[in-house]
A and B are shown apart, each in its own frame.
Chain A
Amino acid sequence: MIEIQNLHKDFGDLKVLKGVDLSIKPGEVVSILGGSGSGKSTMMRCINGLESITKGKIIVDDFDVSKSNDLREVRKRCSTVFQQFDLYPHLRVIDNITLAPIAVLGQSKEEANDKAMELLNSVALGDRASAYPSQLSGGQKQRIGICRALAMNPSYLLLDEVTSSLDPEMTAEVLDILKILSKQGITMISVTHEIEFAREISDRIVFLDEGRILKDLPKDDFFSESGGKSDPRIARFLSKMGNV
């Protein structure tokens, strides 16, 4: 369970998040939509402590993100896939995946390697285990990014626009993997501009606007004329995204 209570985040004078309340239950797939600058990335970064919290609270499975003793536990439970991949450039694919399981979860090298190979095979990259990230395409890098996140056996998978650095073909190959994952019971929180994808995988859609949650609705309600679309800002956003 992730519970965000009255979350505020300022950068100096700039108030980015202005009281966000959100709770995410185990197994839920939640998509976060919203315009550029609405605070989606900032909220995601607050969840695993990459950004400090100005006011409010985030609790992940009883662990408080702003307590440094708890943060490590939070980070064990939440794995992130990054927009820019952010793979470790100096490590081979397999070592990218096993670094944290060995260093943080205390897995043995064999155990971590076995798990990594299993994940690599599941994204059809088993033969690239000893390549370096610079030798891979963007789509391949992001599939490795997903493997690296899953290798931690996370309870929560955080995805922040994981396909927006990819061309359409590679976007499809990554989205396909995420679709499969979303059906396997892992809790997913995904910031995305891929409305169709959000509509397909999500249980719930949360719409952020200027640092506040404007709507938090079950998927079908969100996309109905009487639900989410009844709000002009959301209707405008969806039509801008090419979805009417």
Chain B
Amino acid sequence: MFDLSSMTEYVPAFVEGFIVTAQVSIVSIIGSFLIGVIVALMRVSTNKALQFISLCYVDLFRNIPFIVLIFFSFYGLPEIGVYIDAFWTGCLTLSVAVGAYVAETLRAGIINIDKGIIEASKSFGLSKFRIYQKVIMPIALTTSVRPLGSVFINLILTTSILSAITLNELTGASKIIASTTFRPFEVYVFLVIFYGILTFILSGIIAVWHRHLNKYNGVA
């Protein structure tokens, strides 16, 4: 019999898992965004070496299954003396992996900017830094923000894989509850709801950000 009330006593455990998932997601979204910005700037720079390094980075991390990466960081790195706990291993690996996707998304936004606008800012003597800060990045983001939203929602869903490295985030916590209650159906209904809450919140934030950035062209 389907009986959600059987889950009442496990709500705190769910919430705990939910909080871990939310924390990993927030830290990794910020981390991958920062990495993505830097790598995107390297991708579009005129320096051949930076272009090459960033291209390798993007190709590498977009072509390795995340579960392989996370096993490598969690079980492989300690072999060479690098010890990080499961939470931070998860955050770092996610940031590095998703950073590659963020970089490509931003790059697409950057190369689509009308060259004349960038030249105009150059012609008035703005420094490279100011041009990126005040002109290129804001315009690139207006077109990149939606695809970025998809990348970040994917990131949230990918956090479930961290249960494979002993992190009791939402999926990990649910597995434990399912195996003690023998009620997988109810457990996974809860799981779906919690992921839904997270992605729903993120979609909302992205929509508001998109509207804010695009208010100039009435796309909203």
Q: Is B121 interfacial (CB-CB < 8 Å)?
A: yes
Instruction: Check A99–B126 contact: CB distance below 8 A.
Output: yes
Known: A103-B134, A104-B126. A89 touches B139 (CB 8 A): yes
Instruction: Check B125–A86 contact: CB distance below 8 A.
Output: no
CB interface residues, A 27-76, toward B, < 8 Å? 48, 50, 72, 75-76
Instruction: Check B142–A90 contact: CB distance below 8 A.
Output: yes
What string of 1s and 0s marks CB contacts (under 8 Å) between B178-220 and chain A? 0000000000000000000000000000000000010111100
Binding-face segment, A77-85, A170-178, A187-195 = A77-85
What string of 1s and 0s marks CB contacts (under 8 Å) between B122-134 and chain A? 1111110010001
Residue from A75, A82, A100 within 8 A of B116 (CB atoms): A82
Q: Is A134 interfacial (CB-CB < 8 Å)?
A: yes
Complex Cα–Cα for A185 and B8 (A): 82
Residues of B within 8 A of A79 (CB): 123-124
Complex Cα–Cα for A76 and B124 (A): 6
Instruction: Check B116–A76 contact: CB distance below 8 A.
Output: no
Complex Cα–Cα for A75 and B127 (A): 11
Question: What range describes how many residues of B lie at the interface?
Answer: 20 to 34
Query: How many residues on the A side are at the interface (Cβ–Cβ under 8 A)?
Result: 26
Residues of B within 8 A of A152 (CB): 124-125
A129 to chain B, nearest CB (A): 14
Q: Is B114 interfacial (CB-CB < 8 Å)?
A: yes
Q: Is B120 interfacial (CB-CB < 8 Å)?
A: yes
Instruction: Check A86–B124 contact: CB distance below 8 A.
Output: no
Q: Is A132 interfacial (CB-CB < 8 Å)?
A: yes
Known: A50-B119, A86-B116, A88-B117. A72 touches B216 (CB 8 A): no
Residues of A within 8 A of B217 (CB): 89, 132, 134
User: For residue A89, which residue of chain B has the nearest CB?
Assistant: B216
Complex Cα–Cα for A88 and B135 (A): 7
Residues of A within 8 A of B116 (CB): 82, 84, 86
Complex Cα–Cα for A99 and B123 (A): 12
A192 to chain B, nearest CB (A): 19
Q: Is B138 interfacial (CB-CB < 8 Å)?
A: yes
A-side residues, CB < 8 A to B, are 48, 50, 72, 75-76, 78-80, 82, 84, 86-92, 99-100, 103-104, 132-134, 148, 152
Instruction: Kindly list the 4 A-B residue pairs having the minimum CB-CB distance in the complex, ordered from nearest.
Output: A75-B125, A100-B124, A86-B120, A132-B216
Given contacts A50-B123, A72-B127, A75-B124, 7 further A-B contacts (CB under 8 A): A86-B114, A88-B120, A89-B117, A91-B216, A99-B126, A103-B127, A132-B217
